[in-house]
Amino acid sequence: MPTDQQSAHDTPHVHTDGDRRRLEFSPGMIQSEMLLSRPDHLLLRYARAMMCFTLFVPRPRHILMVGLGGGSLLKFCHRHLPEARITVLELRADVIALREQFMVPPDDARLRIIETDAVSYIRQHPACADVLLLDGFDDSGLPPALGSARFYADCLRALVPGGVLVANLFHYDPHYGAMVKRLMLTFRGLVCSFDGIAGNNRIIFAAKPERQQSGRASAGRAARTVRLVRWRTLFGLAFLNRLLPAWQLWRLQRRRRQPG
């Protein structure tokens, strides 16, 4: 995943067990998992939770992803969001080389996988994406550069007004609290999280306000969704948030099957 330095023991390994294929850097540390019989199915709970970005931006035009892994999110978005362009930033050539084993579609007019440093790329591409998915882990966790205040500021600039950032974080990361505070500061409080729906993963959503013609920020759909999720949590209705991933995936799959 995107990090400037790689340790000698984090070579990606592919393991196949029956219908399941997974990607690991270290034994037992699953980076991605898929079903051979259903390659675009989202098997891991955290990936299903990240797809809730469609509550904030239902019909994205451009999705920018940091971290390829086995391409689970890429494959689902490519199939069920046919109007969206997808750009994936992956630093490691050895991870990209596994794309055929994980049945990742070839690059085309809608899809590009770029071997690059995500930190530099995002800094150089302002206002380029409706959705920014951050899922860039290596064998030691989240690289510090992907949780810094400067990086989050660059992410805010990379989003168009009304766009949303989705970050996959581990709650036991010693820097977890600091990263959430940086996101709150950068996105001026328009931040919420889906806790308790993906094990140790915490899925954080941060919305960029829309702009009115006068130049003033307006609430917009993404900002209103952030407030709704936070309201449910505040009033003890977090269980409703936990139902959202399954509901939203069903809606996307149903929409994809409908003609026109």
**Residue 107 and residue 100 in contact, taking contact as beta carbons nearer than 8 Å:** no
Question: Token pair for residue 125?
Answer: 């591409």
Contacts 24+ apart (CB under 8 A), 17-25: 21/70, 21/101, 21/102, 22/70, 23/69, 23/70, 23/95, 23/98, 23/102, 25/138, 25/139
Question: Token pair for residue 116?
Answer: 């690059």
Q: 165 has which bridge partners?
A: 132, 206
Question: Which residue numbers are catalytic?
Answer: 135
